Amino acid sequence: MASRRLRFNPLAEAELQDAASWYDERVAGLGGRFITAIRHRASEIVESPHRWPLIRGARRVLVGPYPYAIIYREISDEEIEIVAVAHLKRRPRYWAQR
């Protein structure tokens, strides 16, 4: 199978950058480690997108040790969209309309 293309919804990209900035404000370099953890999980999504359960049209991957999840949808056989980089304790399912 050809490699799938992964894209971030612009709002998910903004969430990622905001969270990384927040972590960097607390501990220098922590934001970069957060982004690395997100990228690692994103590569796992591309390699095996059906690994996580489908719930209401989207899949959720936890990004430990951070209290975040990547919410994604398969747009087609070739494309996956990261819909949200969601904090686990804030506004459940706020991303559902994306």
In sequence order, what DSSP letters do the residues of 11-25 get, joined into one string? HHHHHHHHHHHHHHH
Domain limits for position 32? 5-90
pTM score of the predicted model: 0.90
**Residue-wise pLDDT tens digits, 28-51:** 999 999 999 999 999 999 999 999
pLDDT (0 to 100) of residue 50: 94
How large is the average pLDDT for residues 9-30? 97
The pLDDT tens digits for 52-86 are: 999 888 999 999 999 999 999 999 989 999 999 99
Cβ within 8 Å of residue 60, ≥6 positions away = 52, 53, 69, 70, 71
Q: What's the number of domains the chain is made of?
A: 1
For residue 95, is it within any domain? no
- Is residue 96 included in any domain, yes or no? no
For residue 71, the model assigns a pLDDT of 97
86 domain residue, yes or no: yes
For residue 24, give the CATH number of its domain: 3.30.2310.20
Q: Is residue 79 part of a domain?
A: yes
pLDDT at residue number 98: 84
Q: Does the residue 48 lie in any domain? A: yes
Say whether pLDDT at 94 is over 90: no
End-to-end Cα distance, the chain: 28
Angle at Cα 88 formed by Cα 84 and Cα 93, nearest 5°?
55
In a domain? residue 80: yes
Determine, yes or no, domain membership for 57: yes
